[in-house]
């Protein structure tokens, strides 16, 4: 009895390629693990080529030539700049030298204050509002400017017996003071209005009194000196 052997056809093996990888490169395969986790030989650093140092610096624009000497330290450079100071051996000479220095310093400060430089001005004269008040007062003529001359005339009149016993001098003094107060009020109001327009946010406290005091001073004796002429527009 013959037994026939039936051979079934072998199932075809389907190779699936994922993301362009071949069968040997699939995740989980030995070839993939070997390729990912294998130890790569470290690249040996190549020695940089060293150019031979040229005895002379290249003649190119933008390249600093060698000085041929070491750079001095900062302390040595400062020591060279300092001039030797020889203190006087005599105490009287040292005192006189100190007085001369103080006199020269005061003279420089006084000249700077006359020019109106801010660093030399007293605290009461500093600020743009005070400068505006000085310029406004100096640009006009007022009765208050002759206040000192009026006071001198009143002092002279006091030596006349007939006028001293009468009330004429008292009325003159009251009229002079009233005129000065009224003029100072209008001048101060105008200065405050200009200060608010040109310097918003700046304090105008005491500016009326400041302008009134400057207005009663003789023009040549005002400090800081006037920097505008009479009639200039402020």
Q: What ranges do the domains of the chain cover?
A: 118-221
Angle between the N-to-C axes of helices 128-138 and 168-198, in degrees from 0 to 180, rounded to the nearest 10:
130
pLDDT tier for residue 12 given thresholds of 50, 70 and 90: low
Angle in degrees, CA 91, 101, 96, rounded to 5: 25
The residues, ordered by sequence, that sit 6+ positions from 136 with a Cβ below 8 Å of its Cβ are 187, 190, 191, 194, 211, 234
Percent of residues, the chain, with pLDDT higher than 90: 24
Report residue 133 as tokens.
């008040």
Average pLDDT, the chain: 76
Phi, psi for residue 27 in degrees, rounded to 5: -65, 140
Structural contact between residues 199 and 170, judged by C-beta atoms closer than 8 angstroms = no
Residues contacting residue 228 through CB under 8 Å, at least 6 positions apart: 135, 138, 139, 234
pLDDT interval class at 20 (50, 70, 90): very low
What global pTM score does this model have?
Answer: 0.56
pLDDT at 30: 56
Residue 21: pLDDT band with limits 50, 70, 90: very low
Q: Over 50: is that where the pLDDT of 58 sits?
A: no
- Of the CA atoms within 13 Å of residue 61, those in its CB half-sphere come to 0
Maximum mean pLDDT: which of 97-101, 149-153, 208-212: 208-212
- pLDDT at residue 60 greater than cutoff 60: no
Structure confidence at residue 74 (pLDDT)? 76
Higher pLDDT, 215 or 12: 215
Of 4-18, 151-165, 218-232, give the lowest mean pLDDT range.
Answer: 4-18
> Coil, strand, or helix at residue 227?
coil
pLDDT over 70 (residue 136): yes
Q: Give how far Cα 210 sits from Cα of 132, 191, 225, Å.
A: 11, 11, 15
């Amino acid at each position: 009895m013959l037994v026939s052997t039936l051979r079934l056809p072998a199932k075809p093996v389907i190779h699936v390629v994922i993301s362009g990888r071949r069968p040997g490169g699939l995740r989980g395969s030995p070839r993939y693990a070997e390729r990912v986790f294998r130890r790569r030989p470290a690249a040996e650093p190549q020695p940089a080529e060293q150019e031979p140092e040229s005895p002379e610096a290249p003649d190119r624009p933008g390249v600093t030539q060698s000085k041929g000497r070491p750079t001095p330290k900062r302390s040595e450079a400062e020591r060279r700049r300092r001039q030797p100071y020889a203190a006087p051996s005599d105490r009287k000479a040292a005192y006189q030298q100190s007085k001369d220095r103080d006199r020269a310093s005061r003279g420089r400060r006084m000249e700077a204050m006359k020019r109106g430089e801010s660093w030399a001005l007293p605290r009461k004269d500093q600020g743009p509002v005070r400068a505006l008040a000085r310029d406004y007062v100096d640009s006009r003529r007022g009765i208050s400017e002759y206040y000192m001359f009026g006071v001198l005339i009143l002092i002279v009149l006091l030596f006349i017996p007939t006028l001293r016993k009468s009330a004429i001098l008292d009325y003159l003094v009251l009229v002079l003071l009233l005129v000065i107060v009224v003029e100072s009020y209008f001048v101060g109001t105008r200065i405050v209005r200009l200060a608010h327009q040109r310097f918003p946010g700046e304090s105008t406290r005491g500016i009326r009194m400041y302008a009134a005091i400057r207005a009663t001073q003789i023009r040549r004796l005002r400090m800081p000196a006037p920097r505008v002429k009479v009639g200039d527009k402020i």
